[in-house]
Structure 1
Amino acid sequence: MKIHHLNAATMCPLGARLLGAEGGLFDRARFVCHVLLIETADGLVLVDTGLGSGDIADPKRLGGAFLSVLGPKLDPAETALAQVKALGFSADDVRHVVLTHMDLDHAGGLSDFPKAKVHLHAREHEAAMARRSLQAKSRYIPAQWAHGPSWQLYDGIGEDWFGFSGVRALSDAETEVLLVPLHGHTAGHCGVAVRTAAGWLLHAGDAYFFSGSLDAEARTPAGIAVFQRFTDTIGAERRRNQERLRQLKLSRGREVTIFCAHDPGEFDACCRR
C-alpha cells in the first residue's frame, strides 16, 4: 500500500501560548486535520475527510462558535477532494471512507465522495443521527451526509490488538486497515490502524490533541486541556484511552507510530517520513 498524509483543513485559533504553540496570547496557533489517503488493490481508502467543499461553499453551516473559536482557513485547495484530484485520482476512485468519528471537521467531506462506503462505529452513527444534546447538535452537521451515504457500521465485537479489544478489520479483503475503539471524545470514537511494511500506523483521531500528552512525562497545554474537557462526551473514558495510548507508545513505539488528528508537529513528521 501507498499512504499519503494530507491536511484537509488548517485551523488557526487565538491563544498560541496556551495551546503549546510559539507566540503570545493574542497570536494564532496552527492546527491541522490529518487525513490518510491509502492506495489499495480495492481502490482508495480515505481515513477521515476534514472539511469538505460544501463547508467551504457554505461556512455558516459549521456554526459561529466553530468559525470564531477555531478560525479555519476554508481553503478549497485543502479539501480532501482537491488533493485527491491533484494526485491524479477522481472522487469515484475513493471506494471507502473510514471515520474516527463524525465531528464536523472529520466528516465534512463525505458528500465529496458519494460513491464511497462509509465505515464507522455503530455507537457513533447512532449519536450523530440522534443529536440529542446541544453539544451533539453543534458537532454533528446533517448537511454533511444529506446525500445518503452507504454506511458500514461496526459493533463492539472484535479481536484484540496490542491490548485494545473489539478491533475490527474493514473486510476480509482489507485486513490491513482496522477500526480500534477509543471511545470517550465521542460515544463511538475510534482510532484507525494501518499495517505498513515498516510497522503499524495508528490514527488516533481526537483521543488526544497534543503530542506531549503521550510523552513519558505527559504534558498537555492548559488551553488544550480545557478544550478537551469541553468537547469530551465521556471524559473519564477518553482519559483512560489516552493513557493506554501513552503506554502503547512507550512500550511498542517501534512497532506502532501513533498520531492524532490535529497536532501539526506529528503531521509534519509523518510527511517527512
Structure 2
Amino acid sequence: MTLNATPMKHAEGTQGVNSEVLVELKLYAAGYCRHPEFLTLRGGSFKPVPFPAGFACIRHPLQGCILFDTGYSARFFEETKRFPAALYRMITPVTFDSQDSAMNQLLKDGIPAEEIRYVVLSHFHADHTAGLRDFPHARLLYKQEAYSTVNKLGTFASVRAGYLPGLLPDDFENRSLLVEETPRLQLPNDFPFEAGYDLFGDGSIIAVDVPGHAAGQIGLLLTTAEGAYFLCADAVWSSIAYRERRKPHAVARIIMDDPRSYDDSFERLCRLHEHYPHIRIIPSHCLEPLQMGIGEGKT
C-alpha cells in the first residue's frame, strides 16, 4: 500500500509495508433497499432511491480470495419472518433475487464458495452479514468491539441495532480472527487516519477504523494495478456526500451507534478525498462505483 513518499510503519517502529504486493478487486451488490435520499444526504430528494448492498471480492497473490462483507441473502428473509425481526424488513424494504447472492454471483465468475479463504466484516448490520452461512470454509475477520457491542443485546435491541444473530454461522466464533490481533501500523503524519491494521502482514490490505455508524466499523485500504482504493463501508452512503461535505439528515443520527464518532469519520473521509484524490473511496451503498465499473478486474 503506497500513500505517498512517506513510509508507513508498524506501531513498534519497524517499517512493515510492502508496496509491491498488489491485489485484484471486483465490486458487487447482493440486493438493495430503498430509502428517501434526504435521509442519507442533506438536501437530497424525498424520492426513494436504491441503496445497493455492496460487497467486494479481493484476490490476494498468496492468501487467495477474500470478501469484504456479503450483502443480502435469502436467509435475511427467513430471519425476518417473525416479530420483532419483521420490523426490520418493514422499515428496510429489500429487493433481492437468489441469483443476487454473493455465493451465486461469485460462482458465475468462476469462484466457488469453498475458494473464499476469508470474509472481512466491516460491521454486523444484516445487509453486511446475511451471506455468511454461504461461506463455511472462510475465516472471519472483524473488530472485537463490533461483535461484542451487538452480541450482548436483547431481541428488540438487536433489531433496533440492525443485528440479526441468526445470520451468523453456528461455528462463527471458532472461525473468527480479530483485527486487533494483526500488526498495527502508523499511517503517514498528514494522512487523515492515524493508524491501521496490516491484516496479512505484507501491507496489501490495511483495515482502518471508521466508527460512528456502527461500533467497531472498519474500512479497507488496498492497492490494485489500477490504483489505490478505500472501501469505507457505511462511513458515508454515497460518493456525493464526501465530495460535497453533505452529511446525513439529523433523523439518520437516531440509528447511529455514536453520532460524534460518525462526524469525526465523515470529516476524515472528506480530508482523504481532498488531500489524496488518487485514492478512490468506495461506500458500500453507493451506486456510482458499480455503474462506473470502478474496481472491476480479474478475480
Q: Secondary structure of the residue that 2:70 maps to in structure 1?
A: coil
Question: Could you say which residue in structure 2 is the equivalent of 1:4?
Answer: 26
Cα deviation 1:193-248 (Å, max 9, x = unaligned): 12212332111111111322212x4224xxx4245302211110111111011011
Question: Could you say which residue in structure 1 is the equivalent of 2:287?
Answer: 264
1:105 Cα offset (Å)? 0.6
Question: Could you say which residue in structure 2 is the equivalent of 1:152?
Answer: 177
Tell me, yes or no, if structure 1 residue 55 matches structure 2 residue 76. Answer: yes
1:4 Cα offset (Å)? 1.2
Tell me, yes or no, if structure 1 residue 169 matches structure 2 residue 198. Answer: yes
Of all paired residues, the percent bearing the same amino acid is 22
Tell me, yes or no, if structure 1 residue 191 matches structure 2 residue 219. Answer: yes
Count of residue correspondences: 264
Return 5+ residue gaps in structure 1 as ranges: none
Where does 1:57-96 land on structure 2 (aligned, <5 Å)? 57-60=78-81, 63-96=85-118
2:245 is aligned, of 186, 210, 218, to: 218
| Moved beyond 3 Å, runs of 4+ | 15-20, 56-59, 132-138, 270-273
Q: TM-score, normalised by structure 2?
A: 0.79
Answer yes or no: is the 8 Å Cα contact 1:166–1:180 preserved in 2. yes
Amino acid at match of 1:152: L
Question: Could you say which residue in structure 2 is the equivalent of 1:236?
Answer: 260
1:271 Cα offset (Å)? 4.0
Question: Could you say which residue in structure 1 is the equivalent of 2:49?
Answer: 29
Q: Secondary structure of the residue that 2:32 maps to in structure 1?
A: coil
* CA distance in 2 between partners of 1:58 and 1:30 (Å): 22
RMSD: 2.6
Amino acid at match of 2:97: D
1:267 Cα offset (Å)? 3.0
Larger RCO: 1 or 2 (CA < 8 Å, sep 6+):
2
Answer yes or no: is the 8 Å Cα contact 1:184–1:236 preserved in 2. yes
Where does 1:101-140 land on structure 2 (aligned, <5 Å)? 101-131=123-153, 134-138=156-160, 139-140=162-163
1:99 is aligned, of 121, 125, 132, to: 121
Answer yes or no: is the 8 Å Cα contact 2:79–2:164 preserved in 1. no
Answer yes or no: is the 8 Å Cα contact 2:27–2:57 preserved in 1. yes
1:57 Cα offset (Å)? 4.8
Q: When you count helix as a share of all residues, which structure comes out higher? A: 1
Moved more, 132-141 or 27-36: 132-141
Answer yes or no: is the 8 Å Cα contact 1:51–1:107 preserved in 2. yes
Rg larger for: 2
* CA distance in 2 between partners of 1:233 and 1:272 (Å): 29
Relative distance call for 1:252 and 1:91 in structure 2 (3 A) is same
Question: Could you say which residue in structure 1 is the equivalent of 2:271?
Answer: 247
